[in-house]
Chains A and B, each alone.
Chain A
Amino acid sequence: MPKTQLFTHMVEQNTSRLSDILKAASDPTRRAILTLLAQEGAMRVTDLADHYEMSLNSVSKHIKVLEKAGLVSRKTIGRVHLIEVDMEPVQEIDRWFNQLRSIWDMRLEALDNLMTKEPDND
């Protein structure tokens, strides 16, 4: 069934990506970094480290996790290396939620049909 294949494909493809995104954002420090980048725009790693009074090494580790999830990317302007936030994975979360919503909608519709269109077996 094409619809069945489509569903399974969509689910499998999105799962590992979503796990990366949700794991990346499950840490309060990384959430703070994301929020700061969203508010302030692209920043240098050293500025991020200063802002949170963290070592460059620990900030770099957090950035790597965010980068793997696609939530931040690196760009270079001249000789300055900047980290910037990326909106795209957020849309992935939206899509995932819309999909989840439509599945529950469908189940409630099926329950409705079951309750109202079939004879009561009780």
Chain B
Amino acid sequence: MTDLSLEISRVINAPAERLFNAWLDPEMLMKFMLPGRGMSVPRASANPVEGGRFDIIMQGSENEIPHHGIYKKIDPHSQLVFTWQSPFSVDDSTVTLDFKPVEGGTELTLHHVKFASPEARDNHEGGWTSILGALDAAI
């Protein structure tokens, strides 16, 4: 069934350096960290150092939806790790980006892990996978 993490990847025809820096640059973040199609990001800021905070204010229909996180690891230009918080996220979550030069550009792999609790993160066994597996088998 499902685990509390998701992974997607995409090959983008751009050098890893440019792609990597886009995630550290407020001007760029405003252009692609959209909350939905045709929606906008009116404001963004970023302190692009490890331990530095970024804020991305997304515009909903009526309300602003503030997102923020902390850059945990900045390893130019191969890996970027940051925490991810929004008013709608139920708990801490972490996003890991891997940048790999490939033919035709750079392969960007995004891994987003959401945990039910810090306890669940530290205790891998008996996590969601087993429950969901059991529930799935019980259908």
Which residues of A come within 8 Å of B, CB atoms? 1, 3-5, 7-8, 11-12, 15, 18-19, 22-23, 25-26, 28, 31-32, 34-35, 38-39, 41, 85, 87, 90, 93-94, 97, 100-101, 103-116, 120, 122
Once bound together, how far apart are the Cα atoms of A1 and B37, in whole Å? 10
Q: In the complex, are the beta carbons of A3 and B38 less than 8 A apart?
A: yes
- Write the nearest CB–CB distance from B37 to chain A, whole angstroms: 6
Residues of A within 8 A of B49 (CB): none
Q: In the complex, are the beta carbons of B126 and A31 less than 8 A apart?
A: yes
Q: Given A15-B88, A26-B117, A110-B31, answer yes or no on A38-B137 (Cβ-Cβ < 8 Å).
A: yes
Q: Which of chain B's residues has its CB closest to A12's CB?
A: B88
Once bound together, how far apart are the Cα atoms of A97 and B89, in whole Å? 12
Q: In the complex, are the beta carbons of A85 and B138 less than 8 A apart?
A: yes
Q: In the complex, are the beta carbons of B28 and A114 less than 8 A apart?
A: yes
Once bound together, how far apart are the Cα atoms of A81 and B1, in whole Å? 30
- Write the nearest CB–CB distance from B35 to chain A, whole angstroms: 7
Contact of B62 among A8, A90, A115 (CB under 8 A): A8
Interface residues on B, range: 35 or more
Q: Which of B32, B35, B65 has the most CB of A within 10 A?
A: B32
Contact of A39 among B126, B127, B134 (CB under 8 A): B134
Once bound together, how far apart are the Cα atoms of A90 and B22, in whole Å? 36
B120 within 8 A of A: yes
Main secondary structure of the interface of A (DSSP, over half): helix
Q: Given A8-B60, A26-B119, answer yes or no on A111-B6 (Cβ-Cβ < 8 Å).
A: no
- Write the nearest CB–CB distance from B66 to chain A, whole angstroms: 13
Q: Which of chain A's residues has its CB closest to B33's CB?
A: A107
Q: In the complex, are the beta carbons of A116 and B14 less than 8 A apart?
A: yes
Residues of B within 8 A of A100 (CB): 6, 112, 114
Once bound together, how far apart are the Cα atoms of A94 and B132, in whole Å? 11
Q: In the complex, are the beta carbons of A5 and B1 less than 8 A apart?
A: no
Once bound together, how far apart are the Cα atoms of A95 and B36, in whole Å? 16
Per-position 1/0 for B109-139, Cβ under 8 A of A = 0101010110110010011101110110111
B74 within 8 A of A: no
B13 within 8 A of A: yes
Q: In the complex, are the beta carbons of A18 and B90 less than 8 A apart?
A: yes
Contact of A110 among B6, B34, B65 (CB under 8 A): B34
